[in-house]
Structure 1
Amino acid sequence: MIYVKLHQSEHSEILAVCDEELIGKTFTEEDKEIKVSKEFFQGELLSEEDTIKILKDCTNANIIGKKAINCALDAAIISKENIFSCGGIVHAQYYSLK
């Protein structure tokens, strides 16, 4: 399962998407660090199919974890060149000017 949480402000929104098992963990590699905070990522728990549907309609996303990244690839919002690794975990960001 994958956590999906929408953060909205007056002028923008960002979708936080994260594999369920990564919540609360921190990953480091050399000078990079990713904190998978509950406050930012822990939203609604969804299936991969439902996550793909939501990703297809988003304009900005912060995506962490193998399952979440595969959903973003299936939704065709990122390509493999957009993915980087930190401490053994994959991460990508997506921005659209829709």
Structure 2
Amino acid sequence: MILKERETGEGLLVAVCDDDVLGETFETGEMSFTVTEEFYGGDEADEDEVVHSLNRADVANIVGTDAVALAVEAGFVNEANVLELDSTRHAQFLRM
């Protein structure tokens, strides 16, 4: 997985994606979603590193079958809130 962290005015923003979706565009109906290098490009990370980062996140964007499955399994995202985008999945969370 690819992991990117950045501090924002609202706290820690974490972006995670599967390696194979970076740079890809997914379309479902009228929605088009591109996994850009600018937003999601970061460092290779294993599952433990991703979970550690998501634990600290105030906001997270997660794309890819494996990354979203990890977020669901670790309890960050409810399966009912996951979006199916063409051949991949997308989820977000916000801590308040």
TM-score relative to the length of structure 2: 0.91
Q: Which runs of 4+ in 1 moved over 4 A?
A: none
- In structure 2, distance between residues paired with 1:12 and 1:53: 16
Q: Which residue of 2 aligns with 1:60?
A: 59
Render the CA deviation track for 1:10-63: whole Å, top value 9, x for unaligned. 333311110011111101111011100011101111012221222122111000
How far does residue 81 in structure 1 lie from its aligned partner after superposition?
Answer: 0.9
Range 31-40 or range 65-74, more displaced: 65-74
Gaps of 5+ in 1: none
TM-score relative to the length of structure 1: 0.89
- In structure 2, distance between residues paired with 1:74 and 1:57: 17
Q: Which residue of 2 aligns with 1:51?
A: 50
RMSD of the TM alignment (CA)? Answer: 1.2
Q: Which residue of 2 aligns with 1:93?
A: 92
Gaps of 5+ in 2: none
Paired residue total? 96
- In structure 2, distance between residues paired with 1:42 and 1:59: 19
- In structure 1, distance between residues paired with 2:32 and 2:11: 25
Secondary structure at the counterpart of residue 50 of structure 1: helix
- In structure 2, distance between residues paired with 1:63 and 1:81: 15
Q: Kindly, what percent of the aligned residue pairs are identical?
A: 26
- In structure 2, distance between residues paired with 1:10 and 1:58: 13
How far does residue 75 in structure 1 lie from its aligned partner after superposition?
Answer: 2.3
How far does residue 8 in structure 1 lie from its aligned partner after superposition?
Answer: 2.0
- In structure 1, distance between residues paired with 2:28 and 2:92: 18
